[in-house]
Amino acid sequence: MPSGRKPKPTVLKELHGNPGKRALPIDEPEGVGDLWAPPPWFDNEQRAQWHYAVDHAPPGLLTGTDREVLAIWCVACVEHAKAAQEVRKLGQVVKTKDGNAIQNPFMGIMNRQALLMLKAGSEMGFSPAARASLGSQAPEFTNGATPRRRGPAIKGGLAGYLEQKPDSLN
């Protein structure tokens, strides 16, 4: 297994404007299929996270191949929220039946789910750094590249999408 930084997917390089001006790979494997409904075993809260992620991801970024990574992210989001509510209710420190003060066991669950969310989110381009570079670089496409479209077309292209985003960086 090679060491070092993970390669950035070509679609993200195109959206970011390819600042290094290196030749983009033409034979990179792409994800296939569309993301439709969440897995049937999801509960209502997990389904809501699924739909939120699909609706707010950059157009064409997520495909059917990304289904399981998105499922991990959705479950982690819901479990993190549940654990955070328990920590808020009980406090960060709780007393044992012997009266000893210990860290609330829900803190460990909350922290582990946060790490899973960050890991899965970074795999799918859900990080603040990715959004910041998308917002500042993508509309110009200074290298003359045209983003590949895998999902439904957005009126106005990427600039139209960025204007409609509820979490727009502008």
Of the candidates 114, 126, 37, the one whose C-alpha atom is nearest the C-alpha of residue 78 is 114
Residue 2 lies in a domain: no
Residue ranges making up the domain that contains 57 = 10-164
CA dihedral (148, 149, 150, 152) in degrees, to 10, reads 170
For 63-74, write each residue's pLDDT tens digit.
888 899 999 999
Summary mean pLDDT of the chain: 76
Tell me, yes or no, whether 19 lies in a domain: yes
Please tell me the total count of domains within the chain. 1
Does residue 170 form part of some domain? no
The pLDDT of residue 142: 39
